[in-house]
Structure 1
Amino acid sequence: MKYVLIWRERPYGSAADAEAAQERVLEIMQLWQAPETVAIHHFLVRVGEYGGFAVIETDDLEALHQMTSTFAVFEFVVHPVIDVGSALAAEGAAVAWRQSMGAD
């Protein structure tokens, strides 16, 4: 299944706290590798902010949870997504079923 991950840095009390968090993220990212069961299709950072987006694919929700837990400095939102062709096919089937019910 495909997901879009959205993350942003958690709010901090001081500039020193934010700088320490940024240093820690850089330290972790130098050694971090995605779990083998997770394919990262896009890994993007919002310009001028500490956060971003990733398009990933996995059937291993434990690995996804491990990924987001590794970076405690960020808040994550995870959205399951499907390709537009699959969405259009599903919507077309729903419309056809509704039409088969006839008008009231």
Structure 2
Amino acid sequence: MKYMITWNERPQGSPADYENAQKRILEVFLQWQAPANFKIEVFVVRVGDWGGYMLVDCDDPLTVHKICSMLPSFVFEARPVVPVMDAVRVEQEAIAFRDAIDAGTA
């Protein structure tokens, strides 16, 4: 399953609190290694902001949850995603099913 993980900085407090949070984030992140079942496809940070995006392929939602729990200074959101052409295909199937019901032929 692919997941789009986004993160935003959690409100802290004083400027010193933000500085300390930045130091701790980098300290933890630089020690981190992605698990074998956590394939990172895209990993980017928003320019001029403390947040970003990571597209991953992972077969275990608990691994994704663990990653999102690693840095409490951020608010994480992990959303399952599918390729657009797969989504279009099943949307067309749903439309055909619905149209068949509307036509009284289902």
1:73 has 2:70 as partner: no
1:49-75 superposed Cα distances (whole Å, 9 cap, x missing partner): 100111111121111111111111110
Per-residue CA deviation, residues 20-77 of structure 1 (Å, 9 max, x unaligned), is: 0101111112111111111111011011010011111112111111111111111011
1:9 Cα deviation (Å)? Answer: 0.9
Residue 85 of structure 1 aligns with which residue?
85
Letter of the 1:82 partner, please give it: V
Counterpart of 2:15 in structure 1 is 15
Note the alpha carbon deviations across 1:82-101, whole angstroms, 9 max, x for none: 00110011001001111212
Name the structure 2 match of 1:99.
Answer: 99
User: Which runs of 5 or more structure 2 residues have no equivalent in the other structure?
Assistant: none
**Structure 1: where are the runs of 5+ without partners?**
none
Superposition CA RMSD, Å: 1.2
Letter of the structure 2 residue corresponding to residue 72 of structure 1: P
The CA distance in 2 between the partners of 1:65 and 1:95, in whole Å, is: 34
Amino acid aligned to 1:48: G
Question: What TM-score results when the alignment is normalised by the length of structure 1?
Answer: 0.94
Identity %: 42
How many residues were matched structurally?
A: 104
CA distance in 2, matches of 1:65, 1:79: 11
Please give the alpha-carbon distance, in whole angstroms, between the structure 2 residues aligned to 1:30 and 1:47.
20
SS of 1:47 mapped into structure 2: coil
